[in-house]
């Protein structure tokens, strides 16, 4: 009988304007088996965003209560707002063998790296700095000061690129998603992700 290896923890990060949300949305549509962990945040919803779908939108005191109870796998503050990944959802699905996708900021990603060194860490970038700046400006949902803060933050986040395993350029969403899918396919085939028992079971299942 084949054994079920633990699922992949897939961490996708990148600066504002990289298109993380769009890439994750299409990736999930094309890969319905991929579990998506909804993060919690204290920022206000943007137009069209829904509680429990895009984020768990919490008041700061609610977020801090979750944090103090140890309910976050990681948490970080970004541009004055708090963000965190609920722990139980991620751990339960990984244990069942399901891949889990996290769309989180670089601060949180480094916390995850310390806890899950076998995770798959992917950094998403637009094709140029000019394109990144244009995307942030064209979003039209933030004040001028907020845009300046996000651009400054983007520079510091890009400097952390070496902490990731893979770089994906989001020039076209479909191509970026295909690159992520290729990374996950390769990661699932890595021999060092299997125990000796799992490898034996895989071979027996294929050869018998």
Q: Does 131 reside within a domain?
A: yes
161 compared with 52, residue with greater pLDDT = 161
Q: Does 89 reside within a domain?
A: no
Q: What percent of the chain has pLDDT over 70?
A: 94
Place of tokens 């945040």: 41
Number of domains the chain is built from: 1
Q: Does 20 reside within a domain?
A: yes
Q: What is the CA radius of gyration of the chain?
A: 18
Mean pLDDT of the chain: 88
Q: What is the pLDDT of residues 176-193, one digit of tens each?
A: 999 999 999 999 988 888
Which residue segment(s) compose the domain that 159 sits in? 9-37+98-207
Residue 194: band (very low, low, confident or very high) from pLDDT cuts 50, 70, 90: confident
pLDDT for position 83: 92
Residue 1: band (very low, low, confident or very high) from pLDDT cuts 50, 70, 90: very low
Q: Does 87 reside within a domain?
A: no
Q: How far is CA 22 from each of CA 12, 19, 138, 172, 193, rounded to the nearest angstrom? A: 12, 5, 15, 11, 29
Q: Does 53 reside within a domain?
A: no
Give the angle subtended at the CA of 23 by the CAs of 190 and 74, to the nearest 5°: 70
Q: What is the pLDDT of residues 33-69, one digit of tens each?
A: 999 998 899 999 988 999 988 899 999 999 999 999 9
Model's pTM, two decimal places?
Answer: 0.81
Q: Does 153 reside within a domain?
A: yes
CATH of the domain at 19: 3.40.50.300
Q: Does 168 reside within a domain?
A: yes
Q: What is the pLDDT of residues 97-142, one digit of tens each?
A: 999 999 998 988 999 998 888 899 999 999 888 888 887 777 666 6
């Amino acid at each position: 009988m084949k054994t079920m290896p633990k699922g992949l923890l897939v961490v996708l990060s990148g600066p504002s304007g990289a298109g993380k949300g769009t890439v994750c949305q299409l990736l999930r549509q094309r890969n319905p088996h991929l579990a998506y962990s909804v993060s919690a945040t204290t920022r206000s919803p943007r137009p069209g965003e829904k509680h429990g779908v895009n984020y768990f939108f919490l008041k700061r005191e609610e977020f801090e209560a979750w944090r103090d109870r140890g309910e976050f796998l990681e948490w970080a503050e970004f541009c004055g707002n708090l963000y965190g990944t609920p722990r139980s959802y991620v751990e339960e699905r990984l244990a069942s063998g399901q891949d889990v996708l996290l769309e989180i900021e670089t601060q949180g990603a480094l916390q995850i790296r310390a806890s899950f060194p076998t995770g798959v860490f992917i950094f998403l970038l637009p094709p140029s700095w000019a394109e990144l700046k244009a995307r942030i400006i064209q979003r039209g949902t933030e004040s001028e000061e907020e845009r300046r803060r996000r651009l400054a933050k983007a520079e510091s986040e890009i400097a952390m690129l070496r902490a990731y395993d893979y770089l994906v350029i989001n020039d076209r969403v479909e191509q970026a998603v295909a690159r992520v899918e290729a990374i996950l396919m390769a990661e699932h085939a890595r021999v060092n992700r299997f125990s000796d028992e799992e490898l034996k079971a895989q071979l027996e299942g294929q050869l018998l």
